[in-house]
Amino acid sequence: MEQTIGIIMNGVTGRMGTNQHLIRSICAIREQGGVALSDGTHIVPDPILVGRNEAKLAALAEANDVQRYSTDLDRALATENTPIYFDATLTELRHIGVTKAIDAGKAVYCEKPTGTTLEAALALYRHARKAGVKHGVVQDKLWLPGIVKLRRLIDSGFFGRILSVHGEFGYWVFDGFDRPTQRPSWNYRKQDGGGMMIDMFCHWRYVLDNLFGSVQKVYALGATLVPRRVDENGNEYECTADDAAFGTFELEGGVICQFNSSWAVRVRRDDLLTIQVDGTEGSAVAGLTECRVQRGEDTPLAVWNPDEPNQHDFHDDWEPVDRDLPLDNAFKTQWEFFIRHVMEDAPFRWDLLEGAKGVQLAELGLESWRTGCRVDVPPLT
């Protein structure tokens, strides 16, 4: 049996909203025949696209066989049989849409950050909890194939005692002067909610908490490495937000983590995101899709000799794991979890409080950058 439900999708004309949430998640779920519930019912999403630009909405709807779109959020929220509201708008606007959806009794699912300050993020959580609506936050990296494979290694005890974690993330974003930029200009304006630390520390919080242990302390440094860029309309503007962030995190249990994030780095690594985990019994490097390991018994004897060219290819000492493991799109996987959560109360722990934890870490990272001090990360309950 099929059951169709409306999903109000606000702010999906942007790159991430279009590609990952609309096309590769909701439309893909629709094409596969819906999300199967425990009683055999298949929930088929029927999206309503909401945004500020009617021409963009119309083009996006036509391209993806979506029948409904609107520039009027209030009207969309009043539509019958629309139990879920999704928000991928600018961070500065998220509070408005999510609050309206909560007041309309909708289950809310939104992108992160859930606010530009911890208090704003907590306010959304408290409002949703008081209203009694279900709520969730996108924490997509937990379902990336490379991270899923890494989690399997952790659960199997492959590493022995985990010693440290090192993450490298980012790529070169063109400034727009000689080549068109590939990211929206608001990302580089603090006044519009942009900034690397507020963006990526929210990701690193849930990755660290869920894989390696809760974050206890942070020491961070940010930078605006590219001071001027050209926006989507060809206008030059000053970059007021950090485009690089470097963080050291101390976790419960003593694991030390370092994450470098930058929009001004040229990639010479296996993937745009790599996470290396070193343990007493072995190590692994996970990317977006692949994961490679080096067992303790296979670790080569490294000899420091700056007087001769290195003859050893250290990349050859790592072997891929679980290459044939069938894994779906990370965003789609979490969407399916949330739909089941709404429709049959299936467990879903990635809620607005978890989203607030990410904002908390970003806020404390900014404090560390400002003061030059290592900062405690208190429990958020």
- What is the value of pTM for the model shown? 0.94
The string of pLDDT tens digits covering residues 144-200 is 999 999 999 999 999 999 999 999 999 999 999 999 999 999 999 999 889 999 999
pLDDT beyond 90 at 258: yes
pLDDT beyond 90 at 381: no
pLDDT beyond 90 at 358: yes
Residue 50: strand pairing partners: 10, 70
pLDDT at residue number 55: 96
Coil, strand or helix at 59: helix
The amino acid that residue 319 corresponds to is: E
pLDDT beyond 90 at 271: yes
Coil, strand or helix at 89: coil
The string of pLDDT tens digits covering residues 150-162 is 999 999 999 999 9
The string of pLDDT tens digits covering residues 39-87 is 999 999 999 999 999 999 999 999 999 999 999 999 999 999 999 999 9
pLDDT band at 289 (very low <50, low <70, confident <90, very high): very high
CA distance 99 to 1: 33
Q: pLDDT exceeding 70 applies to what percent of the chain?
A: 100
Residues 6+ apart with CB under 8 A from 85: 7, 8, 10, 77, 97, 98, 101, 104, 106, 107, 108, 109
Averaged over 212-233, what is the pLDDT? 97
Averaged over 118-142, what is the pLDDT? 97
The position carrying tokens 């937990």 is 142
pLDDT, mean over the chain = 96
Domains of the chain: 2-139+330-350 (3.40.50.720), 141-325+360-371 (3.30.360.10)
CA distance 371 to 140: 31
pLDDT at residue number 91: 86
The string of pLDDT tens digits covering residues 11-26 is 999 889 999 999 999 9
pLDDT band at 102 (very low <50, low <70, confident <90, very high): very high
**Residue of 168, 169, 164 lying closest to 277 (CA atoms):** 164
Q: pLDDT exceeding 90 applies to what percent of the chain?
A: 93
HSE value, Cβ hemisphere, 13 Å, CA-based, for 12: 32
Averaged over 274-302, what is the pLDDT? 96
Q: List own/partner pairs for 260-263 with CB under 8 A and 24 or more apart.
A: 260/167, 260/168, 260/169, 260/170, 261/169, 261/170, 261/196, 261/197, 261/200, 261/204, 262/169, 262/170, 262/196, 262/225, 263/170, 263/171, 263/172, 263/173, 263/183, 263/187, 263/196, 263/226
pLDDT band at 248 (very low <50, low <70, confident <90, very high): very high
**Residue of 316, 321, 277, 324 lying closest to 298 (CA atoms):** 316
pLDDT beyond 90 at 116: no
pLDDT at residue number 338: 98
pLDDT at residue number 263: 98
pLDDT at residue number 222: 98
pLDDT beyond 90 at 294: yes
pLDDT beyond 90 at 303: no
Coil, strand or helix at 321: coil
Residue 33 per-residue DSSP state = T
Strand positions, DSSP E, 189-303:
215-223, 228-230, 236-238, 244-251, 256-262, 273-279, 282-286, 291-295
Angle at 33 between CA 27 and CA 37, to 5 degrees: 110
pLDDT at residue number 170: 98
